[in-house]
Amino acid sequence: MKSAIVTKVIELCETVSSDAQFKKCQGIVDQFINNPEDNQDYQDLLEFQRGLNLKKMDGELTQDEIDAFDVKCEEVFSQPAVAEFLESQDALDQLSDLLNRYVELTFEFGRVPTDAELVEEQEAEEELHDHAHSHEGGCGDDCGCS
């Protein structure tokens, strides 16, 4: 027999997975990932970025390489398939973050957090993120930001 918590988690997952906007975003992300014609330039850009990160750590990064990367970013991000993928991925990430914040704060407070508490926690998280970017090296390799 399932506990009340597991039952509610399953209901939440069913609600999320049946939501029209979720389905649309998930479909766009899946289509992009599974279509090499759409994602090759994006994958090449990620490889370029990894190479530049290695050069940066070795102190060998030049301004010309940074400029070339900026140009490549503009080219790739202006492609409709890439822009739609990134927008959909961002929407899914935001939903996931919201659900995680609700659960984390519920554990922290021992009750459902208020809207004000969610906003306060989000602002504190953004402040930490901004602080990390104000120092050499930024957030690190796992940060999805630029």
Give average pLDDT by consecutive 10-residue segment, the chain, 146 residues. Answer: 93 98 97 93 95 92 94 95 97 96 95 94 84 57 50
**CA angle centred on 82, ends 35 and 126, rounded to 5°:** 130
Residue 16 lies in a domain: yes
Instruction: Provide the domain limits for residue 30.
Output: 1-34+81-133
Domain-located, residue 88: yes
- Contact between residue 89 and residue 29 where contact means Cβ atoms under 8 Å apart: yes
120 and 90 belong to one structural domain: yes
Angle value at C-alpha 114, between 96 and 126, nearest 5 degrees: 50
Give me the pLDDT at residue 122, please. Answer: 87
In a shared domain, residues 70 and 97 = no
**Would you say residue 66 lies in a domain?**
yes
61 and 85 together in one domain? no
Do 90 and 126 belong to one domain? yes
Distance CA 63, CA 87 (A): 29
- Does any domain span residue 138? no
- For residue 127, the model assigns a pLDDT of 85
Q: In angstroms, rounded to a whole number, what is the distance separating the alpha carbons of residues 98 and 67? A: 35
Q: Residue 36: how many CA atoms within 13 Å on its side-chain side?
A: 0
Tell me what pLDDT residue 53 has: 94
Say if residue 92 is in the same domain as residue 29. Answer: yes
Helix (H) or strand (E) holding 109: helix 80-109
Q: Is residue 142 part of a domain?
A: no
Choose among 49, 51, 57, 45: nearest CA to 136.
57
